[in-house]
């Protein structure tokens, strides 16, 4: 299917030219990326300029920098969102993700909490989920109704946290996933069908990163691969996915499984779009980000 705009046509070959997929296309590439990130950790702080209508604060709690983005134009925030950034569990949050977090805070009128969680080989799925659950509880106490949001690897963290909270009797008003990683076994038979169209992600490196991220848990534990969890009782779920993303088949499985479990689901599937397309500087990406912000506002406003 042809891509709908010039930027979307240019970005995939540019990504291949710049070797965006080098971490994923081979096992060696993933091992090299883990080593590189360990030897030379990337900066994680926000850009010097975000938005003037958002106040940025940070605390350091048990080794985690935890940022909050608070809207300054609203009389009082209507709730909170804990945002788990993506990056294959090996890459830090980047400028585009910071700008999305700031936009959600300002335009939806919510306090966005951004934890800088430890990456592989130091971080693993179980402890990270536990800390994110704690942050959701804290946000709910301080700011009111709180949801979770995550892109890519952060989608795995966000959904696993939502399931853990559900197990505690907490039904979140919002679980919003952008191109989420859901099944870290990488076993969906449709992945090889989609793979030739995806200039970014691939199975060989993905399996290496998954093996590092699972820690001492099985790959099929819902804390690692939330697609294997029982979704019954989960609060409203929103999923954004592009068809040129090897994670798209699992996103569609999640939607089907959630609907079967009686979960309220809103699916935004974009033909011809890439992994985490709502974060990308394309017309479809900007349009999706606008929808995303509106969805957050609708879920949390009284």
- Classified as helix, coil or strand, 280 is coil
**C-beta neighbour count of 91 within 10 angstroms:** 18
CA-nearest of 164, 154, 70 to 117 is 154
Tokens of 50: 């975000």
Instruction: Give me the sheet containing 111-115, strands edge to edge.
Output: 54-61, 64-71, 111-115, 80-84, 146-151, 175-178, 237-244, 265-274
Please state, in angstroms and rounded to a whole number, the distance separating the CA atoms of residues 157 and 77: 24
Contact between 148 and 174 under an 8 Å Cβ cutoff? The reply is yes
CA-nearest of 273, 270, 281, 245 to 96 is 281
Catalytic residue among 8, 152, 160, 225: 152
275 is catalytic: yes
Please state, in angstroms and rounded to a whole number, the distance separating the CA atoms of residues 285 and 179: 12
CA-nearest of 79, 69, 254 to 177 is 254
DSSP for 128-143, written as a single string: HHHHHHHHHHHHHHHH
Tokens of 282: 């394309």
Angle between helices 6-17 and 283-300 (to 10 degrees): 100
CB neighbours of 183 closer than 8 A, spacing ≥ 6?
225, 227, 228, 250, 253
Contact between 143 and 123 under an 8 Å Cβ cutoff? The reply is no
143 is catalytic: no
- Reported residue count of the chain is 302
Catalytic residue among 183, 198, 221, 245: 245
245 is catalytic: yes
Q: What angle do CA 86, 91, 95 make, to 5 degrees?
A: 70
Show which residues are catalytic.
Answer: 152, 245, 275
């Amino acid at each position: 299917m042809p891509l709908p705009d010039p930027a979307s046509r240019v970005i995939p070959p540019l990504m291949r030219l710049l070797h965006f997929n080098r971490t994923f296309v081979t096992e060696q590439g993933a091992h090299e990326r883990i080593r590189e990130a360990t030897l030379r950790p990337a900066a994680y702080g926000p850009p010097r300029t975000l938005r003037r209508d958002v106040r940025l604060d940070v605390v350091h709690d048990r080794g985690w920098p935890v940022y909050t983005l608070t809207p300054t134009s609203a009389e009082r925030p209507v709730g909170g969102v804990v945002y788990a950034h993506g990056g294959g569990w090996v890459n830090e949050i980047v400028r585009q993700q910071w700008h999305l977090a700031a936009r959600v805070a300002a335009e939806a009128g919510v306090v966005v909490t951004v934890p800088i969680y430890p990456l592989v080989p130091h971080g693993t799925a179980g402890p990270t989920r536990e800390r994110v659950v704690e942050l959701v509880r804290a946000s709910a106490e301080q700011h009111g109704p709180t949801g979770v949001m995550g892109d890519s690897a952060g989608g795995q963290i966000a959904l696993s946290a939502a399931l853990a909270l559900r197990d505690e009797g907490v039904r979140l008003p919002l679980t919003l996933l952008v191109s989420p990683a859901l099944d870290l076994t990488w076993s969906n038979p449709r992945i090889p069908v989609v793979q030739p169209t995806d200039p970014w992600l691939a199975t060989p490196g993905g399996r290496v990163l998954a093996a590092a991220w699972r820690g001492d848990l099985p790959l099929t534990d819902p804390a690692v691969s939330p697609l294997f969890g029982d979704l019954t009782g989960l609060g409203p779920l929103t999923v954004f996915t592009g068809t040129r993303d090897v994670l798209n088949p699992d996103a569609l499985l999640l939607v089907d499984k959630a609907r079967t479990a009686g979960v309220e689901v809103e699916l935004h599937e974009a033909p011809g779009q890439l992994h985490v397309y709502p974060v990308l500087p394309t017309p479809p990406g900007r349009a999706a980000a606008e929808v995303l912000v509106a969805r957050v506002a609708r879920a949390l406003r009284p």
